[in-house]
A = this chain, B = another copy of it.
Amino acid sequence: MPRVMNFNAGPAALPSDVLELAQQELLDYQGTGMSIMEHSHRGKAYSAVHDDAVSLVREVLKVSDDYEVLFLQGGASTQFAVLPMNLLKAGQSADYIMTGSWSKKAFGEAKTVGTVRSACSTEVDKKFVRVPKQRELDLDPKAAYCHFTTNNTIAGTQFDAFPDSGQVPLVADMSSDILWRPTDVSKFGMIYAGAQKNIGPSGLALVIIRKDLVEAGREDIPKIFQYRTHASNNSLYHTPPTFAIYMLRNVLARLKKNGGLGAVEKHNRAKGKLLYDAIEARPDFYRCPVEEGSRSLMNVVFNLNTPELEASFIEKAQAAGMVGLKGHRSVGGVRASIYNGASIEWLEALASFMNDFHKDA
């Protein structure tokens, strides 16, 4: 079967050439007679992959030496708890900017660890159709950190300009849009992201954290949850998810070869334009519930006039080789997740399908 057009929200599409390389090497990684999965995480072959992966994260995202680059397990959901366990101490409070389900989950987990407050919420009638403006933020200048979600996969919203938290360390869950464009890492205390959208397979979380925050973290929690443990062991304190890191390495090497994040951004903006244009060309037929200025270039959500029409759209799209277009079960509608792994050709095909579907309806 030819490869389908995969609009899944995550785990998501990976570049075919990255998968092809993994396939070629699966039983014999570079003439070692073993799969990369079978190599010791302390051996020469894997160590080179691991170090290369760290270097590529640093190079592609221009991460300065003031930051640690960590490969952890448990996805972003584990960081929801591990972040406050490290950085939220007794007597302190942390700010959370609430823009969707994932912010709520992060907030909920932090609440079991310490004191947290909502610095803003854009929820109206159980829906989040926009991200807040800077002037709406009620920020605590003494907060341990200020947390937000850069891109909201379910609501289909995304921050263009990031919040300014002043001297308070800004912490971003970038799970669904890391690497989508050049990012000034120096604005952040910490960035974290589950790998399964723009980075590689699931089971890996990338954490980029300022060294002073690592140092300041609590020392009375289990070692495995202390950022310093992983920082001082180059993420080899325990056996890392070696295959996922190998895939991350290959995704980043390809991204670098293809022109880096500048080229990625151009590509993603062109993809997003194709889709939003297709929606707006037929405003009586397709509607995007997200306010302009907050619209995500990673997860494009839209509605048709009835749930039946939406179901028919999704079914016919699937028949045309486009999978994963069903909206999140909590909000319904249509969602096209168009992460870095989605090609411009897929977006052209989707836009063209939308045109045809409208004509036939």
Contact = CB atoms under 8 A, between A and B. Distances in A.
Contacts of A241: 73, 201-203, 241, 244
B109 A32 contact: no
A319 interface: no
Interface size class of A (residues with CB under 8 A): 35 or more
A220 B75 contact: no
B27 A4 contact: no
B14 A38 contact: yes
B14 A81 contact: no
Contact of A239 (B38, B196, B223, B247): B196
A272 interface: no
This chain: how many copies in the complex?
A: 2
A78 interface: yes
A22 B11 contact: no
A221 B8 CA distance: 32
A31 interface: yes
B3 A33 contact: yes
A138 interface: no
Nearest to A25: B23
Nearest to A202: B239
A109 B196 contact: no
Given A19-B35, A202-B41, A242-B203, A225 B81 contact: yes
18 contacts: A1-B31, A4-B32, A8-B38, A11-B37, A37-B202, A41-B202, A73-B74, A74-B74, A75-B239, A77-B239, A78-B224, A80-B222, A81-B222, A108-B223, A113-B222, A202-B242, A203-B244, A243-B243
Given A3-B27, A73-B73, A112-B220, 6 more contacts: A6-B38, A8-B43, A11-B239, A14-B37, A19-B27, A75-B239
